[in-house]
Amino acid sequence: MAKANQYKFCFGPWNISQGGDPYGPTTRPEQSFDWKLDQLKALGFDAMMFHDDDAVPDIDNKSEKQILTEAKELKKKLDDAGLVAEMVAPRLWFSPMTIDGGYTSNDPKCRRYAIDRSLRCIDIANILDTDILVLWLAREGTYLRESKSGKRSVELMVEAFDKMLAHDKKIRLAIEPKPNEPMDHAYIPTIGHALAVAQLTTDARRVGALIETAHCILAGLDPADEIDFAMTFGKLWSLHLNDQNGLKFDQDKPFGSTNLRSAFNQVRVLERNGYGKHGEYVCFDVHPFRTTKSEQTLAHLDNSRRTFLRLVEKARTFDEARAKSLIAERDYQALDQMVIEHLLGK
Ligand code: XLS
Ligand code: MG
């Protein structure tokens, strides 16, 4: 198996989830944050991802001073455990203030809330010593297209991003596109949209992207091509690997669970483009199946990393010279079978 130390791995506390879905209650007991941190370390992962309220629970009811104090306590806990924070992301989809969206809400008070909370989140990122603010723009879209103007919404997002860039000269915004869910349609559905919006900001160099496999599939796109696209611009600053069986609810399956060949192609482009060389992490945004028993509550994380590392090995042992000559001969039939047999093993 390829050596783990060539890639750095992480996940978030929400990736050890309890199995609740819109049709039924949880199926596993809740575990404390400290327990999750211990498990992350025991599994040999390198970093943890944080929503702002993973870092500072109940953040909306705390003063700025209290938020900073608690973020410092968390930093100490991470230091003691020898772990780091990969990113911080404002959770802008729970509050009654974001029912109609955050930055694109039709209510100016709600837009103000979303921006203020994002600035607090940057303060937390500073204390946790990460320069990456992930923006999954969950509710920046509509259930009903007539309820908002698309052009105005893009302008409002740019205004919000500019305030974040001005708040801290080091922070980098990694936009995580997703085409739908919870909204009918989101305003930044793909990497192309994210990078285009970046160009409208006051410091486009600090606005990049995070790609999640499942989100690309939900947009009907190939995750490996999305990765290649972002990396051509030098803008892939984080990555959420998982899997998704076609156009349905966001499944966050273990990496490679649905489409091993697609997973291989994702790993192959990461290898080809040198992902990780500037300190980027491989994160698994995966969830246990609802049927998973408590004893196996970490298996999806360990398995995703195992599959990733096996595919790194497959990418490194792929007969590139033979592939090149088949491409030159335009024998894609043989190339197809070569990939299949390589994945099946001898
Ligand atoms: C949800 C997103 C979320 C982000 C972090 O679909 O993937 O988990 O990665 O806010
Ligand atoms: Mg994600």
Q: Which is the catalytic residue, given 51, 215, 240, 300?
A: 51
Nearest CA to ligand 1 atom 5: 136
* 71: pLDDT strictly greater than 60: yes
* 4: pLDDT strictly greater than 80: no
* 256: pLDDT strictly greater than 80: yes
Question: Per residue in 10-44, is it b (16+ CB within 10 Å) or e — as a string?
Answer: bbbbebbbbbeeeeeeebbeebeeeebbebbeeee
What is the average per-residue pLDDT within 333-337?
98
Select from 130, 212, 242 the residue to mutate for testing ligand 1; criterion: most ligand atoms less than 8 Å from CB: 212
Residue 54 known to be catalytic: yes
* 186: pLDDT strictly greater than 80: yes
What is the average per-residue pLDDT within 44-59?
98
Write out pLDDT tens, residues 97-109: 999 999 999 999 9
C-beta of 243 in contact with ligand 1 (< 6 A): no
Instruction: Enumerate domains of the chain plus CATH numbers.
Output: 9-316 (3.20.20.150)
* 5: pLDDT strictly greater than 80: no
Residue 51 known to be catalytic: yes
Beta bridge partners of 208: 174
Measure the CA–CA gap between 106 and 108, rounded to whole angstroms: 6
At position 90, the amino acid (one-letter code) is P
Nearest to 182, CA basis, from 141, 240, 128, 234: 141
Write out pLDDT tens, residues 58-67: 999 999 999 9
C-beta of 86 in contact with ligand 1 (< 6 A): no
Of 1-15, 220-234, 291-305, 325-339, which gets the smallest average pLDDT?
A: 1-15
